[in-house]
Amino acid sequence: MNWKLFGMPLLIGVLGAAGLFAALLGDGWWDALAWLGLGLPVWYGFRGFFR
Amino acid sequence: MKSKTIRTWSAIHTWTSLICTLFLLLLAVTGLPLIFHHEIDHLLGDAPQLKVMPADTPRLDLQQLVLKAQAHRPGEVMQYFGWDEDDSNGVVAIMAATAGTEPNSSHTFMLDARTGDAVEMPSANGGFMMVMLRLHVDMFAGLPGKLLLAFMGVLFVVAIVSGVVLYAPFMRRLDFATVRHDKSRRLRWLDLHNLIGIVTLTWALVVGVTGVISALSDLVIAAWRNESLATMVAPYRDTPPLTELAPVSRVLDIAAQAAPGMQPDFIAFPGTRFSSEHHYTVFMKGSTHLTSHLLTPVLIDASDLQVTAVGERPWYMDAMGLSAPLHFGDYGGRPMQILWAALDVLTIIVLGSGLYLWWVRRRSATEAGR
């Protein structure tokens, strides 16, 4: 496993999956997990256009 | 990775993407307003508004609502009653010429449970949002349209997986999230394509797979009818069709007794595709967050109101039930809706940049060949 290459994508992917599932289990903090898990890809995705 | 392996994966990625890109663009563009269909209905004034009445106003009994619905649309029959999530006084009624009429030819409206007044739901029967929905679901082509879109969804998943494989050779020498802004336009878009593609991976896979499952819903429901429902109603095989139905007034109480701890989601009237010729079928949902997406059918004999069976939940019906929220993004509040829309836009960018990268490379390959 090449951690330098796949470390961040793996982390983002796992958090995203955890968030998508968590919000199915409840509201409040469970939803917040989904916002974090989906917020990271959105942040990195749009940040790529700047700098 | 050997260069031959890279070339093979590259060919898989190119061709699966190229075939599905136009359809995926259609899905992503029409999906965008659908994420906010509730809000758009309110803005357009298409959301049903019930009268303001004292909170303790009693509700009519269900059979009275059936009579009100039939008076509202004479000559049609009841197909479904469903319960509104926004307003517990709203009952969604679906009627059509015959109980077996296909969903797109049915008429959907709302009944005020306290007065029986009919309130129209324009966006459920036509208009802009319905056009978006039909383009998204079947491109106005019925089952063949759905199956074609399901196949495009499968190609999309293959394109995503092959894209992840190709991420390694392209990004080997670069730090995560590097975008080379100061080299060529092609390199900038290549880096953006790789970056956005890899960070939206989980979401795109989940929405892709649940979209395929939803597109196959007609087949899933047919499987349920053939296996589950057919077994439950086997004793009725030689019974003539009912000429008169017992009143539905107590049907919800009967279902609640048969499936304790669950809430009614909708009633399918006899002859619809969610019921048999001889039953009212009440679909009950669980009372936890997770199980509220999983439906248990309670079959109630429509002549004597005896419970015939409480259905099992086959795995494919559960898969279909859970696919809906995971595809719509409607289960995590407003922030989730907004993130869903942002991820949808990012997907459009990945599709567009992929198309651009293919075009540029193809052009340079032809020029090199001259």
- Any idea which residue has 């992917």 for tokens? A13
What three-state secondary structure class fits B95?
Answer: strand
Query: What whole-number distance in Å separates Cα of residue B124 and Cα of residue B90?
Result: 15
Nearest residue in chain A measured CA to CA from B189: A49
Q: pLDDT tens across A13-41, in order?
A: 999 999 999 999 999 999 999 999 999 99
C-alpha pair distances (Å), B108 with each of B45, B75, B86, B247:
16, 15, 16, 21
- Give the residue-averaged pLDDT of B279-290: 96
- Domain ranges in chain B are 3-38+135-214+330-369
Per-residue pLDDT at B84 exceeds 80: no
- Give the residue-averaged pLDDT of B91-120: 96
Asked if ipTM goes beyond 0.95, one says: yes
Residue B64 structure tokens: 């009275």
What three-state secondary structure class fits B135?
Answer: helix
**Are residues B200 and A9, on separate chains, in Cβ contact within 8 Å?**
no
The kind and range of the H/E element at B285 are strand B279-285
Nearest residue in chain B measured CA to CA from A11: B199
**Are residues A24 and B293, on separate chains, in Cβ contact within 8 Å?**
yes
Q: Chains A, B: CB contacts under 8 A, how many?
A: 101
CA distance A15 to chain B (A): 9
Query: What whole-number distance in Å separates Cα of residue B142 and Cα of residue B138?
Result: 6
pLDDT of residue B364: 85
Per-residue pLDDT at B119 exceeds 80: yes
Q: Which of B350, B343, B125, B69 has the alpha carbon at shortest distance from A39?
A: B343
**Are residues A12 and B168, on separate chains, in Cβ contact within 8 Å?**
no
CA distance B160 to chain A (A): 13
pLDDT of residue B367: 82
**Are residues B290 and A25, on separate chains, in Cβ contact within 8 Å?**
yes
Per-residue pLDDT at B105 exceeds 90: yes
> pLDDT confidence of B207, banded at 50, 70, 90?
very high
- Give the residue-averaged pLDDT of B212-235: 97
Q: Which of B35, B128, B135, B134 has the alpha carbon at shortest distance from B345?
A: B35
